[in-house]
Amino acid sequence: MTVTDDKAEAATRRLPHAGTTSGGTLRARRIGWPFIAVYGAAYTGLWMALLPPILVGLAMRVREIDPAHATGSLSLVVGVGALLALFGNPFFGRLSDRTTSRFGMRRPWLIAGALGGAAGLAIVAQAASVPQLLLGWCIAQLAYNAQLAALAAILADQVPAEQRGTVSGVVGISLPLGMVAGTFLVEALASSTLAIFLVPAAIATASALALAWALPDLRLAAAQRPHYGWRGFLGSFWINPLRFPDFAWAWSSRFLLYAGVALLMTYQEFYLIHQLGRAPADAPRLIFLSTLVQSCAVAISSAVGGGLSDASGRRRAFVSGAALVYALALLMIAFAASYAWFLAGMAITGMAQGVYLAADLALVTDVLPERETHAARNLGIFNIANVLPQSLMPAVAPAILSVSHGSYAALFVAAAILVSLGAWAILPVRGVR
């Protein structure tokens, strides 16, 4: 799909003029459900391509390539990939904020990120060694985080404050939909390693192109493009917490919650095999079922939670309460005596995560510093809280498992403690109710 110059011009708003107030501040107009649906579909496609490798695909490929050192190799691949995601999201967000393309600020990164991610997953699918697997996953993480930075900025660019909870709820639904659809494809296409990775990547690319076509993108005039040197590069990864304490507390809460999420997602397969005693061949099916249960709960609670937070005008109570429920669910999983109890715990984590994500994304957008000029960069910095735990937790988890003599119960208790701290960390935020 290509966009002609005329269509691009018609679908693009120049940043210093259209869509601004008399003082030059961006004013988002109310958006309709057709655009919200396309936006949610682009998020869903991205998660379909990115999350199943973390849940199932990478562990499967590591067992095929290096079965004797599967746990250590998985931690290496996931950890290094997450470090590059940590760099890529704010870095590409900063570049997006400075993009003066005639096609807009976000559109080029939506398309390039989707295509680059597909190339990385192709390498993962055909890797014959752990270094090749690592290379492909790093490319995929960088590319998809460039796309994610653009997607996140669209919420600040296009959605007014009174709709952010609702749209954040749709974004929250996209996460479980992507996980369920992606893990279903992993199971359905299990006979073809190449198809397991490339079919979701193709769907992600198609949905990104659809959003790029529909997007009334902002267009930055060349004269408005800010200077970008080494100081600006370093600033891509930092927001002063003393100057913007609300943002800092929100970042801390998200980081702590995702530390627990990372432990659960990364070590779910090994938990099922080593603690519940299930056969390795059954792991993809069991993970698909648990993902389906969790995702249905996320979808329902995200839509409900986002709407309720908009209606009540309150964000903190929803965020903090949901994090506490998630911590309790982790304790339930830690001490589960059967797969049925594990499924029940996953359902509760889904309910809690759906409410948390819908309310928290709206809260962060409400308190986002310098939203008019640095939305993608600052949301990229916020997304570090999502990806940094994916790098840190696989590095910390082996030590916890070693001290606890391989107890995944101890690992998930530690995760519950971190998430509980995340519930507390949102309370000092003062810029929203």
- Give 250-273 pLDDT, tens digit per residue: 999 999 999 999 899 888 888 898
For 143, the token pair is 């590319």
State whether CATH 1.10.260.40 applies to domain 32-219+230-425.
no
Q: Does residue 387 or residue 304 have the better pLDDT?
A: 304
What tokens appear for 245 in the block? 């304490």
Find where tokens 């655009």 sit.
35
The pTM assigned to this predicted structure is 0.67
DSSP summary character for residue 28? P
Query: Is 26 a residue whose pLDDT tops 60?
Result: no
Question: Which of 89-93, 375-379, 395-399 has maximum average pLDDT?
Answer: 395-399
- What the block records as the tokens of 299 is 């979808």
What pLDDT sits at residue 3? Answer: 38
pLDDT above 80 (res 431) = no
Neighbours of 151 (CB within 10 A): 24
Does residue 383 carry a pLDDT above 70? yes
Mean pLDDT of 312-327: 87
Give pLDDT, residue 326: 97
Place of tokens 């627990």: 260
Note the pLDDT tens digit of each residue in 36-93.
999 999 999 999 998 777 767 787 888 888 887 877 888 888 888 878 877 887 888 7
Q: What percent of the chain has pLDDT over 90?
A: 31
**Weakest-pLDDT range from 138-142, 175-179, 243-247, 321-325:** 175-179
Say what the pLDDT of residue 347 is. Answer: 95
- Structural domain boundaries in the chain: 32-219+230-425
- 3-state SS class at 227: coil
Those residues whose C-beta lies under 8 Å from the C-beta of residue 167, and which sit 6 or more positions away, are 31, 36, 39, 155, 159, 306
Does pLDDT of 403 surpass 60? yes
Give me the mean pLDDT over the 130-141 stretch.
93
Mean pLDDT lowest among 82-86, 178-182, 306-310:
306-310
With a cut of 70, say whether residue 21 has pLDDT above it.
no
Q: What is the DSSP string of 379-415?
A: HHHHHHHHHHHHHHHHHHHHHHHHHTTS-HHHHHHHH
- Spatial CB neighbours of 141, under 8 Å, sequence gap ≥ 6: 81, 82, 84, 85, 88, 120
Average of per-residue pLDDT across 312-341: 90
Distance of alpha carbon 204 from alpha carbon 433, whole angstroms: 36
Quick one: average pLDDT of 214-235?
A: 70
Is the model's pLDDT at 15 over the cut of 80?
Answer: no
* Least confidently predicted of 53-57, 226-230, 286-290, 426-430: 226-230
| Cα 129 from Cα 291, distance rounded (Å) | 28
Taken in order 134, 135, 138, 139, the sign of the CA dihedral is negative
Lowest-confidence range among 111-120, 268-277, 410-419? 268-277
Which band of pLDDT confidence, cut at 50, 70 and 90, is reported for residue 9? very low
What number is the average pLDDT over the span 154-179? 80
Greater confidence (85 vs 423) lies with: 423
Residue 11 has a pLDDT of: 43
Predicted local distance difference test score (pLDDT) of residue 238? 65
Q: CA–CA separation, 156 vs 172, rounded Å? A: 16
Taking residues 228-251, report their average pLDDT.
73
> Residue 332: its pLDDT value, please?
95
297's enclosing H/E stretch is helix 283-312
